Amino acid sequence: MSRAAAAIVGRRVWLCDLDGTLVDSSPVHEAAFRAAITEIAPGLLGSFTYDGNAGASTRQVVAGLGADPAVMDRLVWRKQRLYREYVDAGRVRLFPGARRLLECLTDRGRTAYLVSSGSRGSVERVLAACGLAGWFRAALTADDAPSAKPDPGFYLRACQDWAVDPADAVAVEDSTHGVASAVGAGLLTLQVHTDEPALGAVPVRDLDEIVSLLGTEAKING
């Protein structure tokens, strides 16, 4: 049995990230950032890189640019507005296996929650556009907590709000920010879509591999 298959046996709660994990949204986020910066603070564009910021909130990324406080709120608002327009235009797509994973979790009696650094408005827009609304018992977004990934407090807040025991849960993440938050909160963390897993993560190739792992678990329990 693989390390990942053994690790998930018996764990009933799944805490899923959205951006870069279930949906291929990173290029769309980057495009929205670049367009907003170009429009409002073009002098900051030369210092902007999206690599390394995946999993962070919009406000964290903008703050990291050193934006003047007078324009920070405008940049955040504009980026989020542009991103939502891009979502409505169909530019964000599901990763292969995303719906199969959620169906598998439901069929096996698992409870799925969403834990995203996105704003609630953007998260709800993506869930609706990609047909994922209704699969999660609840969602925690950047609008709902004082901290954001990579702060472990973000996942700890999720566990506290939903009375989740970390020993009974699995986090599914793609970014180093997300892994740091989940691992720091004491969660078994599967990391997808990466060739270089972050410290503490259990690497899996993609979402379909997780579906296969759940099938292995079912055979063990059967």
Cα 6 to chain centroid distance, Å, stands at 23
The domain spans of the chain are 3-25+93-221, 26-88
Residue type (1 letter), 211: V
Sheet holding 169-173, edge to edge: 139-140, 111-115, 13-16, 169-173, 188-191, 202-203
* pLDDT tens for the chain, residues 1 to 222: 577 888 899 899 999 999 999 999 999 999 999 999 999 999 999 889 888 777 789 999 998 888 888 899 999 999 999 999 999 999 999 999 999 999 999 999 999 999 999 999 999 999 999 999 999 999 999 999 998 999 999 999 999 999 999 999 999 999 999 999 999 999 999 999 999 999 999 999 999 999 999 987 655 554
Buried b (16+ CB within 10 A) or exposed e, 168-187: ebbbbbbbbbbbbbbbbbbb
Write down the CATH number for the domain with range 3-25+93-221: 3.40.50.1000
pTM, rounded to two decimals: 0.93
- Rounded Cα distance, 91 and 2, in Å: 35
